């Protein structure tokens, strides 16, 4: 697949010499979009910026913000129907890094939502030719918002892992999954306690990224990732089990590449709560 339409940072769109005077295509583009809408019997809304959009399915998950990572299945074409870019598997990116029509338009949808964006050139590539896209082009995108911050994808990954490994897991309101192999018989920590835990951390593919000494590591539950802050409290001293932590409760969109944890990764921890301090 290509990333012609969405992968350019805005600085590349606006880069030009101070002597160049960009052409204003707004009126021309608006007339072109309105003609396309009429010819195709579309029902659309128009934003204050000049973006047109239609929502076929609003979705049921989260609406993204510009700092979120999203995954979008899309097809991009001109008003004459010529396709210039398409991703059937979906492209993942931080929303603020793409053209303005996407920065504004994608947040109209929730996870699982789909529809159409009709983007005038001042919200796309302006008065410059950009990698085969002519200056002043109106861009139309059929879009499907697959996930926001890996939420839907992580959920499916965790459920598949549970099924493949015949685990009996519980899910909390936050989206954390956990199994309790041994509940323990001692004190049960709160999120404000210090604890000593022996653990092994690995990814869905089994790659181990961290492992403690069998005697465990002491730390405060307010000092660790949210999946641990919540998850350790389900055990009593002497308890053991597994935490299956989605990215939003772990290392988020960026991960920790130097530790072998990619962005959006589900984290799995075998844990043994040795003591509550």
Average pLDDT over residues 265-276: 97
Annotated catalytic residue within 55, 73, 162, 225: 225
- What's the mean per-residue pLDDT of the chain? 91
pTM: 0.72
Residue 150 annotated as catalytic: no
The answer to whether 90 and 112 are in contact (CB under 8 A) is no
The answer to whether 77 and 84 are in contact (CB under 8 A) is yes
143 with 16, same domain?
yes
CATH number at residue 210: 3.10.50.40
Average pLDDT over residues 231-235: 98
> What's the total number of domains in the chain?
2
Residue 173 has pLDDT above 50, yes or no: yes
Annotated catalytic residue within 78, 161, 202, 209: 209
Whether residue 160 lies inside any domain: the answer is: yes
Instruction: Indicate the pLDDT class of residue 9, thresholds 50, 70 and 90.
Output: very low
pLDDT tens-place string over residues 183-225: 999 999 999 999 999 999 999 999 999 999 999 999 999 999 9
With CA atoms as reference, report the closest residue to 118 among 134, 143, 146, 141: 141
Annotated catalytic residue within 141, 177, 251, 261: 251
Q: Report the sign of the C-alpha dihedral through residues 14, 15, 16, 18, in that order.
A: positive
Whether residue 5 lies inside any domain: the answer is: no
Residue 10 has pLDDT above 80, yes or no: no
82 with 168, same domain?
no
pLDDT tens-place string over residues 70-110: 999 999 999 999 999 999 999 989 899 999 999 999 999 99
Average pLDDT over residues 127-144: 94
- Residue 20: per-residue pLDDT: 62
- Residue 276: per-residue pLDDT: 96
Residue 1 has pLDDT above 60, yes or no: no
Residue 53 annotated as catalytic: no
Residue 109 annotated as catalytic: no
Whether residue 131 lies inside any domain: the answer is: yes
Residue 210 annotated as catalytic: yes
- Residue 234: per-residue pLDDT: 98
Enclosing H/E stretch for 86? strand 83-94
172 with 228, same domain?
yes
Whether residue 3 lies inside any domain: the answer is: no
15 with 142, same domain?
yes
Q: Which structural domain range is residue 195 located in?
A: 151-276
Instruction: Indicate the pLDDT class of residue 11, thresholds 50, 70 and 90.
Output: very low
Backbone angles phi, psi at 187, to 5 degrees: -70, 150
pLDDT tens-place string over residues 239-254: 999 999 999 999 998 8
The answer to whether 240 and 271 are in contact (CB under 8 A) is yes
- Residue 253: per-residue pLDDT: 87
Residue 209 annotated as catalytic: yes
With CA atoms as reference, report the closest residue to 108 among 62, 139, 152: 62
Residue 33 annotated as catalytic: no
Cα-based torsion angle of the residue sequence 130, 132, 137, 142 in order, rounded to the nearest 10 degrees: -100
């Amino acid at each position: 697949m290509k990333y012609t339409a969405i992968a350019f940072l805005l600085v590349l769109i606006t880069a030009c010499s101070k002597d160049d005077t960009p052409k204003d295509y707004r009126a021309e583009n608006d007339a072109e979009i309105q003609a396309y809408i009429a010819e195709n019997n579309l029902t659309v809304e128009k934003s204050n910026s000049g973006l047109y959009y239609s929502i076929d399915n609003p979705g049921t998950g989260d609406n993204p913000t510009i700092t979120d990572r999203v995954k979008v299945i899309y097809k991009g074409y001109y008003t004459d129907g010529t396709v210039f870019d398409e991703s059937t598997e979906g492209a993942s990116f931080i929303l603020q890094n793409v053209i303005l029509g996407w920065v504004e338009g994608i947040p109209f949808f929730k996870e699982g939502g789909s529809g159409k964006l009709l983007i005038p050139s001042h919200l796309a590539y302006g008065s410059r030719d950009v990698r085969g896209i002519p200056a002043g082009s109106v861009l139309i995108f059929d879009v499907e918002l697959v996930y926001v911050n890996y939420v839907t994808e992580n959920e499916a990954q965790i459920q598949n892992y549970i099924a493949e490994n015949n685990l009996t897991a519980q899910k909390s309101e936050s989206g954390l999954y956990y199994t309790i192999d041994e509940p323990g018989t001692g004190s049960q920590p709160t999120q404000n306690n210090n604890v000593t835990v022996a653990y092994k951390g690995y990814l869905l593919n089994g790659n181990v990224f961290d492992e403690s000494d069998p005697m465990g590591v002491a730390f405060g539950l307010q000092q660790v990732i949210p999946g641990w802050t919540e998850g350790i409290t389900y055990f009593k001293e002497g308890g053991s089990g597994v935490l299956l932590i989605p990215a939003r409760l772990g290392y988020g969109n960026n991960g920790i590449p130097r530790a072998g944890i990619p962005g959006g990764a589900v984290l799995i921890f075998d844990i043994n709560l040795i003591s509550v301090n």
